[in-house]
Amino acid sequence: MAKKKNPDGTSKTRQRSARQGVRLNVWRTVSGSVAANATELPQAAVPLAGLNKIIDEVDQIFVEQAAFRASKQLTSQRLQLLFEQGDKLTTVLKVIVKQHFGNGNDKLVEFGILPLRVRPKATVVPPAIPAPEPGTPAPTPATTPVPTLPGSK
């Protein structure tokens, strides 16, 4: 499923994320401006405290997200390493099992290994010489003179 695009070509999630950053910047601007004019706006003290609390929590969540991303990368790398080691050890164990039981033993199926099945060789039957059609002379083998060596009779 393709991501939905905005008219400007950006993806919806990217724009939503950018909007969060823009909104946070607007909050900070308003918060700073209201704090600077607190004497003129005494009724804004309670909402300003609430906004500052939200800004602090959002900042904390951004820090946690960055930590989670780093942790996810480390976890993914560790998982990849474990899978590589597991594949190698599984291969070693399969070789040991094959060596112990033999390549063609049906017991190998228990370990997820297909036993080696040797197919009997097909016997080659020489092609039959077709019988000549009636009315045609039978071919005669051509005789070629055998060369003789000088000095032999």
Average pLDDT per run of 10 along the chain, which is 153 residues long? 65 66 93 95 95 96 94 95 96 94 91 87 79 67 65 60
For residue 91 the two structure tokens come to 């291969």
Q: Is position 3 within any domain?
A: no
Domain membership of residue 48 as a residue range:
13-111
Give the span between the Cα atoms of 131 and 147, in whole angstroms.
33
pLDDT of residue 4: 66
| pLDDT of amino acid 11 | 66
**Residue 46 forms part of a structural domain:** yes
What pLDDT, on the 0 to 100 scale, is given for residue 50? Answer: 96
118: nearest Cα among 133, 104, 106: 104
Model pLDDT, residue 144: 64
Structural domain includes residue 47: yes
Q: How many C-beta neighbours within 10 Å does residue 51 have? A: 17
What is the count of structural domains for the chain?
1
Question: Would 129 be classed as within a structural domain?
Answer: no
Residue 126 confidence (pLDDT) = 78
pLDDT at 20: 86
Question: Structure pTM?
Answer: 0.49
CA dihedral 10, 12, 13, 16 (to 10 degrees): 100
> Residue 141 falls within a domain, yes or no?
no
pLDDT at 152: 59
Instruction: Give me 135's structure tokens.
Output: 């009315």
Residue 125 is assigned to a structural domain of this protein: no
CA distance 32 to 25: 11
Instruction: Look at residue 100 in the predicted model and tell me its pLDDT.
Output: 93
In a domain, 34, yes or no: yes
Q: What pLDDT score does 88 carry?
A: 96
Q: 36 lies in a domain?
A: yes
According to the model, what pLDDT value does residue 141 have? Answer: 62
